[in-house]
Amino acid sequence: MRKTMRWISTALAVAVVGGMLLGLPPTASAQRVTRSIVVVQPVPVFDPFFPYAYYPYGYPAGYVAGNYGYVKVDTHGQQASVYVDGGYAAKTHKSKKFALKAGNHNIELKDSNGKTFFQERVAVTVGQTTKVDVPS
């Protein structure tokens, strides 16, 4: 009798642990979180010490120009962090021009404390540069 009970309890423990490891589906009370992916391409800059503007990326020449539009942010010398559609993109002192997929995008500028001081929705067109002028 003891061997049978030990065998049943061991089998039950293995089944419970196996079910937990397999990742049972979440219950109906769990909330579903949706996230969007934003692709931000830095604009290539000529550098005499680094001759390959697109290295190590496998894009052919002209790929970005034919599939993306540009957003140029003019902050008039203010230091800020740029967020595109809620995701961090870059700091304004390092990059002021971004290549984005065509469509509408939310551009936010945040100061060093993380406080949003500028927000605008811009329309990006393939092959065109959209200028965003931040008031001083």
19 is written with which tokens? 């079910």
State the Cα–Cα distance between residues 117 and 110, nearest whole angstrom: 6
Query: Which DSSP string do the residues of 57-69 spell out, in sequence order?
Result: --PPTTHHHHHEE
Residue 38, number of CB atoms within 10 A of its CB: 16
Residue 48 has a pLDDT of 46
Indicate the domain borders of the chain.
40-133
**What burial letters (b/e) apply to 77-114, b meaning 16+ CB within 10 Å?**
eeebbbbbbeeebbebeeebebbbeeeebebbbbeeee
Residues in the chain predicted with pLDDT less than 50, given as ranges, are: 28-29, 46-50
The whole-number pLDDT of residue 43 equals 58
Instruction: Give the C-alpha distances (Å, rounded to integers) separating 69 from 92, 97, 100, 107, 131.
Output: 18, 10, 6, 14, 11
| Residue tagged 């697109």 (tokens) | 54
Give the predicted TM-score (pTM) of the model: 0.54
C-alpha dist (Å) from residue 63 to 43, 44, 129: 12, 12, 16
The pLDDT, as a whole number, for residue 107 is 92
The per-residue pLDDT for 108 is 93
- Rounded Cα distance between 100 and 31, Å, is 30
Helix (H) or strand (E) holding 2: helix 2-22
The class that CATH gives domain 40-133 is mainly beta
- What pLDDT sits at residue 121? 94
